[in-house]
Amino acid sequence: MKVGFIGLGTMGASMAYNCLQGGNEMVVHDIRRESATQHLEAGAVWADSPREVAEATEIVFTSLPGPVEVEAVGLGDDGILEGMSEGKVYFDLSTSTPTLIRRIHEQAAARGIHVLDAPVSGGPRGARTRNLAIWVGGDREVYDRCKPVLDSIGDKAYYVGPIGCGAIAKLVHNCTGYIVQAALAEVFTMGVKAGVEPLALWQAVRKGAQGRRGTFEGLAEHLLPGNFDPPDFALRLARKDVDLAVGVGREYDVPMRLAQLTLQEMTEAVNRGWGHRDSRVAMLLQEERAGVEVRADQAALNAALEEERGG
């Protein structure tokens, strides 16, 4: 298949090279021509603009820094849509916004052009080794038809839903990671300042329930099915533990902002009369504030869990 690739930075260079090595013909473009040296040496063809890439190929991929660049390359003068004709496909691999990709999709769809958002996760090493998740939003039939090309870029291409859903999944994933990072910094500084050697603390925590479980396992067990009774661990007991941790932070002059916020959330849930329910029942408070329920059909959830376990 004839593939276009725009954006040959830290991630894009490796993804484009792997796609080229996967047997696809390739046309490339970047604001720095020297970024394409290895691709041109491997048989790719250079184009002077995003429009020229789109004119010369069947599928175009972009890997760009953010929404400003995506909008300029997609919708600007000499941009991708100016060079595309009916039936062609555009995948944006950038971390961008669902609102922008939906706007690009709307303008493209009026001309019979397919647009899908497909942000990736795995970092530079994953891009080099093809150990890369690709979260795709858009037309399912187009995704299925183009999946062999996606598989040449990453080993975990996954269809999430309609246009914009890939971008949303990426933002949920990344934001979760950095919130957890901030929480870990908070509690580990408390633990070390209170007297535990850092490596010993890390090893101890790794052996506990939270250390052995994935971040999202509690969602599958409790929030997604809406199952908070009977409790695995009662909210009133969990609140007591967080209160004790906040107390240690106070004793050793360690700021515990996230823990304080968590304690407030758990206290509100206890005051609702939920103290005897599973500790994750406090998540219902955020559902109320957001005006949405985070639920999945139990049978579909079980099937997804079996797939994750390789069953």
CATH code of residue 263? 1.10.1040.10
CATH code of residue 45? 3.40.50.720
31-45, 52-66, 197-211: the lowest-pLDDT one: 197-211
Average pLDDT across the chain, whole number: 96
Q: Could you count the other beta carbons within 10 Å of the beta carbon of residue 271?
A: 9
Q: Is 147 an active-site residue? A: no
How far apart are alpha carbons 182 and 106 in whole angstroms? 37
126: pLDDT confidence band, cut at 50, 70 and 90? very high
At residue 245, the pLDDT reads 96
Q: What is the pLDDT of residues 134-154, one digit of tens each?
A: 999 999 999 999 999 999 999
Domain boundary among 169, 204, 237: 169
At residue 215, the pLDDT reads 79
At residue 209, the pLDDT reads 86
Q: Return the structure tokens found at 48.
A: 């002077």
Cis ω on the peptide bond leading into residue 230 (within 30° of 0)?
Answer: yes
Q: Is the dihedral of CA 43, 49, 53, 59 positive or negative?
A: positive
Is residue 154 domain-shared with residue 239, that is, in the same domain?
Answer: no
Is residue 131 domain-shared with residue 68, that is, in the same domain?
Answer: yes
How far apart are alpha carbons 306 and 311 in whole angstroms? 5
Is residue 30 domain-shared with residue 125, that is, in the same domain?
Answer: yes
Q: What is the pLDDT of residues 205-255, one digit of tens each?
A: 999 988 888 778 878 999 999 999 999 999 999 999 999 999 999 999 999
Q: Could you count the other beta carbons within 10 Å of the beta carbon of residue 295?
A: 12
5: pLDDT confidence band, cut at 50, 70 and 90? very high
Residue type, 258: L
Structurally, how many domains does the chain consist of? 2
Q: Is residue 200 part of a domain?
A: no
Residues 6 or more apart in contact with residue 155 via CB below 8 angstroms:
130, 131, 132
Among candidate residues 88, 147, 156, 170, the one labeled active-site is 170
Q: For residue 158, give the 3-state DSSP assignment.
A: strand
179: pLDDT confidence band, cut at 50, 70 and 90? very high
Domain that holds residue 223: 216-308
Is the pLDDT at 256 greater than 60? The verdict is: yes
Q: What is the pLDDT of residues 271-287, one digit of tens each?
A: 999 999 999 999 999 99
At residue 310, the pLDDT reads 74
307: pLDDT confidence band, cut at 50, 70 and 90? confident
Is the pLDDT at 16 greater than 90? The verdict is: yes
Is residue 152 domain-shared with residue 6, that is, in the same domain?
Answer: yes
Is residue 220 domain-shared with residue 111, that is, in the same domain?
Answer: no
Is residue 94 domain-shared with residue 162, that is, in the same domain?
Answer: yes
Is the pLDDT at 26 greater than 90? The verdict is: yes
Is residue 39 domain-shared with residue 164, that is, in the same domain?
Answer: yes
309: pLDDT confidence band, cut at 50, 70 and 90? confident
Is residue 130 domain-shared with residue 7, that is, in the same domain?
Answer: yes
